[in-house]
Structure 1
Amino acid sequence: MFAILLIASLFCQGLTIVSYGDNFITAFPENIGYFYPHNSMEIIRVTALHDNTTFNVIYRGTQKTISISQSGETSAVTIQGSFEVNQLNQYNKSVRITSDKNITVVSYSCREDSVQTNVVQPTTNLGTNYLIPSLNYTELLASFTQFNSASGSMRYSTFKLLIINAVGNENNITLFKKTETDIEEETLRLEAYQLFQVLTNGSVVRVESSHEIAVILTHPCAETAGCTCNMVVNQILPTKFQGQNFVVPSILNTALTELLVATDQNTSSLFYNSTQLQPISNSSMLLPFPYLQTASQYLTASENVSVRLLSPGLIMELIPENMFSACYLLQFFSSKGQAFVIAETDSRDDVHIQDSPLSAQWTEITGTKYSSAIVTLNYQTAVIWHRTSRIAVYMLDSRNTIVFGGPAISINERPDYYGCVVMPGQFQVGNDKMTWLESREYCMTTTNQFACPINEDMLKDMTSNLSSQQGQVWIGLRRSLLTTELYWQDESENSPPVTYVNWASNKPQKLWRGLCMSMDPENEFKWKNARCCNKKKPVCYKRPNYLTPSQIITTSSW
């Protein structure tokens, strides 16, 4: 018999963003492709994080239900028809995805060579306050000297803003529009799950609502090199997800790369290598960033901001340092894509892809603790994760000469030594006292292993609900009989080294007092050694469930 000590809560969806959930809402913006009159094709890819998952795709009252049997499997729903939002004003063309268990969702829009992907954010990541980057399409193209100003009608020379009511009741929306002299407000009302599309050539600077909304900035055919164009999509995150520190990746044609920095503060100063750049005031500003011509760079703001990397045909949101995660799911449109990875230099060798260390050519980012690498992956679906610290990962895909992509799908902010966690581990304490060896056998029978608090975070999880009345307990740490070296009894082929300790004194007591380690709840859960034949209650641990993506993507059509 045993008592449950702690079941770690599912990952926090607070100010560190994770991109999974059980409720999503999105829409498919217009993908015109000047030279491609063929019908477009929309795709929704859903990856299950748990076995036996059922999800629904809902559009205009019609529902398609699909089941996924195993965690890590992906199901693609191909939609051909009139799902594109190609008209202004409001109407019912939102697409909802609901599930009985946690999933991730990526949408794809395809029209010949014009392809765009979008990581659809769960409704838990949506908000009621959005800062809209002031992008004027004509001025943007003019800033890239190889391009002429946009031609054609206003419809194709202006960015558009999609606002989607994410709740099943009426939602009041306020648009803040910039004029030559002031900020004007425009109000509208959306019914349940309705959307509204408006042209914005840098005019809409903020959107507020009474309930949660999704906001997507898009252009139907942004011009790229070679007299072609492709659709661009940027799902804007609410202001609560802004940050102050950014690693700006050097991943594109740096001669055609600029930064778009947006803030809602009165003034915000930007710094690069302690040099102050142009101040930003109550809106957004486009900045040439020639520093990217050599390597990735570190950018700091005095206030919270959002930063986007701009290049012809691409708008890519940057991940603030405060929103780095421990593991990411990557979904590529083709069977081969690229990952751009940012990790701490001292621990970059602990970055893994799937079950193996990531083989990469790392470049240190001057003046920071980080290094970056770009690697080509022969996977359509992959997991990149770190054993001990948080990282940033971007996924880049291409279609002929067109590059598209953005931040990878954040799964968990907390590192784990063995993989990308989708279901937290569970600690259990036995009811009966027994020897250390009996405790080990007991834990292997009831859960998987002894509790091995290999780092401070894991120790806090283990002890947060442990009562001091439990008395001293055994943990899975002991010394070798042959070498007297400490080791974790974690029953794995690749046992972690002992790099973290929590001794009651500076070091464990003399060896003659015991080779096995116990923990004392009455002394701040400090560790000390004891004779292995002494009897104490064991703390056992059931390992988490880890995400292992399947390369098989099942498809269905709507």
Structure 2
Amino acid sequence: MGPVLLLMMLAAENSEVTATPPEHSTGLKFVVAFPENIAYYHPVVAQNMVQLTALYDDTSVNIKSYTFADIEMTLSQGESKNYTLDERMESNSQSISDRVLQITSNNLITVHAINQKQNSVQTALVLPTDKLAKEYLIPPVPEIQGTTLPVNIVTAGVTERGPFRLVIVNGENAGNIVTVKGTNDEKFTLESNHIVQIWLGKTEQFRSVTASYPVAVLFGHTCAMRSSCICGQLYAALPPAKEEKLKFYIPPALANGTEAFVLVSEKTGTKIQDFNPASPLVETAGTAIFYHQGLLLPLIPDTDFAACYVVHSILDTQNFVFIVVNKTFTDGVHVGNLRLENSWQDLKGTDYVSTTVVLVLGKSVIWHASSKMAVYFMGRKNGSWFGNPAAIISTSPDFRGCVLSPEVLKIGEVANSWQESLKYCKDQKMELVSFPEAQHQREVYGKLLQAQGASRQEVWIGMRRSSRSGEWYWLNGVPVNDTNWEEGEPGTVHDGQCAIMSLDENKNFGWSDKGCCEAAKPVCHIEPILLNIS
């Protein structure tokens, strides 16, 4: 059993063991902005859309866009729908604007932004408003021939020759004071659901964005050069600023044989670092964004690895996921109902490996049974990559699937009979724990093993003999196959009728039969809620 199974600890004997609630990709409120898209220089309409994915049935979603009529839709669990925006939703001005999309729902959803124009595709994972931050670090501007080089080509007078820019998106908080810090700070006051765009000129040397209330920040260019007289939109949603030193493991396949860089941002400064597949680890006390032609990809630090992700493929493009995981836990990776059987590529000098999975059309759930990993949604169209960190559904590994609500374990406060313990758990809206599968048993033991202050007592579990047949049965109705009886246990039908478990690690959490009227504390349990992965 790996240490990643020991997700949480009992603080005392009557504490609950749970995992963290649904993660930062899921929420109830989102504000989305779409930067100007002049890819290929042609005056054709871009296809800007949001892709909404529901985690629960009967999810009602409201979409309010600029001055247009509201849109209502209802989604079932795991269902995804696209909403295409009016072209007037694009933010093509540096002035403050209210051209944003406001999305609200009654249940948790994920939101994926997609910008397409001819062969130019850009995607971003949209964070809910309650997961936004007050500070972001501005990356160094990549050196792109025909866009930022030569320096004298950059001009404010021609849109496609303009500098890189920031798009700062305010959520629900009116009067949000936003400061873009640099050689000469720029300060703005944004009302609720407003945005402002800032050019990243050479002289200002902007380093960070701070705000009195949380905001989202996009970084990129309306039309970065790809080849002779062909340009494509280039944008990424910046991750919130972090000060601790982080490790970023980069799949070598991202470089795809082309020149690639890592844009590193720290509070003390920025740098553009060449990417060498032989050195796939970047360590920095800040943020890191991977760049190569057509792609700005925020990298996932190991502190943000998760156990379950959801991605949806995009029509008329090649779609993939790139997975990074500790080499010890490759056998726990699943795509849908199937264990992943891919070959893995070592990330040299590290304990991690990566692989690429081709996606089929529709939804794909990528989850791990016992560990955490990084997953990137990636695509390619006409040779150019696009992509973003995949939407995190859960950081709680579980051998049964993708966790929406983690299981709960609780040791009762009072020692009582098996029957009274059963009632106690029901009064807590829980059940006396049934854990028929050996893998689940090991997980429960691992969590209880970490209990702080838990004595080596015995506790009731949800197994007893049938009064009619004398056979043992689980309260949840699952057949009794995997057991952990102590030596010589259980006795005959004339012995104990209820199952009790030792919390003594030296006894390997062994079970024995006891008279049901003896006093012991119960282990109460709530089953996890799992996402339908079919």
2:360 pairs with 1:378: yes
* Deviation, structure 1 residue 457: 8.8
Letter aligned with residue 358 of structure 2: T
Q: 1:155 to 1:377 in 2, by over 3 A?
A: same
Q: 1:461 to 1:512 in 2, by over 3 A?
A: closer
User: Who is 1:214 aligned against?
Assistant: 216
**Aligned equivalents of 1:160, 1:493: Cα separation in 2:** 61
2:442 pairs with 1:454: yes
Q: How does 1:235-314 map to 2 (within 5 A)?
A: 235-240=237-242, 243-251=245-253, 252-264=255-267, 282-289=268-275, 291-292=276-277, 297-301=280-284, 304-314=285-295
User: Who is 1:273 aligned against?
Assistant: none
Q: 1:97 to 1:73 in 2, by over 3 A?
A: same
2:421 pairs with 1:433: no
**Aligned equivalents of 2:20, 2:77: Cα separation in 1:** 16
* Deviation, structure 1 residue 308: 1.1
**Aligned equivalents of 1:525, 1:406: Cα separation in 2:** 48
User: Who is 1:174 aligned against?
Assistant: 179
Offset from partner CA, 1:16-68 (integer Å, 9 cap, x none): xx311111112000111134321122211111111111121122365534343
User: Who is 2:531 aligned against?
Assistant: 547
Offset from partner CA, 1:258-281 (integer Å, 9 cap, x none): 1111111xxxxxxxxxxxxxxxxx
Query: Given that residues 106 and 117 in structure 1 are in contact (C-alpha distance below 8 angstroms), is that contact kept between their aligned partners in structure 2?
Result: yes
**Aligned equivalents of 2:395, 2:66: Cα separation in 1:** 35
Offset from partner CA, 1:97-148 (integer Å, 9 cap, x none): 111111100111122222211110112221111110120555796789xxx9
Q: How does 1:149-168 map to 2 (within 5 A)?
A: 154-157=158-161, 158-168=163-173
**Aligned equivalents of 2:530, 2:401: Cα separation in 1:** 6
User: Who is 2:301 aligned against?
Assistant: 320
SS at match of 1:24: strand
**Aligned equivalents of 1:191, 1:549: Cα separation in 2:** 40
Letter aligned with residue 317 of structure 1: P
Among 230, 233, 237, the residue aligned to 2:232: 230
SS at match of 1:322: helix
Q: How does 1:322-341 map to 2 (within 5 A)?
A: 322-334=303-315, 336-341=318-323
**Aligned equivalents of 1:467, 1:367: Cα separation in 2:** 40
SS at match of 2:31: strand
User: Who is 1:34 aligned against?
Assistant: 40
Query: Given that residues 217 and 233 in structure 1 are in contact (C-alpha distance below 8 angstroms), is that contact kept between their aligned partners in structure 2?
Result: yes
| RMSD after superposition | 4.0
Offset from partner CA, 1:189-246 (integer Å, 9 cap, x none): 1112211011114532111111111111121112224653221121112213865211
Q: Which range is displaced more, 310-319 or 511-520?
A: 511-520
Offset from partner CA, 1:285-330 (integer Å, 9 cap, x none): 11122x22xx5722334xx121111101111111111111111111
Offset from partner CA, 1:322-365 (integer Å, 9 cap, x none): 11111111122227511111111122011001111013111122
Offset from partner CA, 1:149-177 (integer Å, 9 cap, x none): 77995532321110111223111111112
SS at match of 1:90: coil
2:13 pairs with 1:11: no
Query: Given that residues 475 and 519 in structure 1 are in contact (C-alpha distance below 8 angstroms), is that contact kept between their aligned partners in structure 2?
Result: no
User: Who is 2:10 aligned against?
Assistant: none
Unaligned residue ranges in structure 1 (runs of 5+): 178-182, 265-281, 479-487, 499-507, 551-558
Q: 1:140 to 1:242 in 2, by over 3 A?
A: farther
SS at match of 2:185: strand
**Aligned equivalents of 2:384, 2:122: Cα separation in 1:** 10
Q: 1:139 to 1:399 in 2, by over 3 A?
A: closer
Query: Given that residues 94 and 197 in structure 2 are in contact (C-alpha distance below 8 angstroms), is that contact kept between their aligned partners in structure 1?
Result: yes
SS at match of 1:359: coil
Q: Which range is displaced more, 241-250 or 384-393?
A: 241-250
Unaligned residue ranges in structure 2 (runs of 5+): 1-13, 465-473
2:52 pairs with 1:46: yes
Among 343, 354, 372, the residue aligned to 1:390: 372
Q: 1:230 to 1:340 in 2, by over 3 A?
A: same
**Aligned equivalents of 1:50, 1:92: Cα separation in 2:** 31
Q: 1:463 to 1:136 in 2, by over 3 A?
A: closer
Among 116, 126, 140, the residue aligned to 1:120: 126
Letter aligned with residue 81 of structure 1: E
2:328 pairs with 1:346: yes
**Aligned equivalents of 1:491, 1:343: Cα separation in 2:** 36
**Aligned equivalents of 1:78, 1:494: Cα separation in 2:** 52
What TM-score results when the alignment is normalised by the length of structure 2?
0.79
SS at match of 1:34: helix
**Aligned equivalents of 1:494, 1:363: Cα separation in 2:** 41
Query: Given that residues 387 and 417 in structure 1 are in contact (C-alpha distance below 8 angstroms), is that contact kept between their aligned partners in structure 2?
Result: yes
2:97 pairs with 1:91: yes
SS at match of 1:352: strand
SS at match of 1:417: coil
SS at match of 2:87: coil
2:30 pairs with 1:24: yes
Query: Given that residues 175 and 204 in structure 1 are in contact (C-alpha distance below 8 angstroms), is that contact kept between their aligned partners in structure 2?
Result: yes
User: Who is 1:501 aligned against?
Assistant: none
Q: 1:338 to 1:136 in 2, by over 3 A?
A: closer
SS at match of 2:258: helix
Q: Which range is displaced more, 132-141 or 365-374?
A: 132-141
**Aligned equivalents of 2:242, 2:295: Cα separation in 1:** 24
**Aligned equivalents of 1:167, 1:446: Cα separation in 2:** 37
User: Who is 1:269 aligned against?
Assistant: none
Q: 1:361 to 1:9 in 2, by over 3 A?
A: closer
Letter aligned with residue 199 of structure 1: W
**Aligned equivalents of 1:311, 1:494: Cα separation in 2:** 55
Offset from partner CA, 1:417-436 (integer Å, 9 cap, x none): 1111112234477997349x
* Deviation, structure 1 residue 475: 3.3
User: Who is 2:109 aligned against?
Assistant: 103
* Deviation, structure 1 residue 453: 4.9
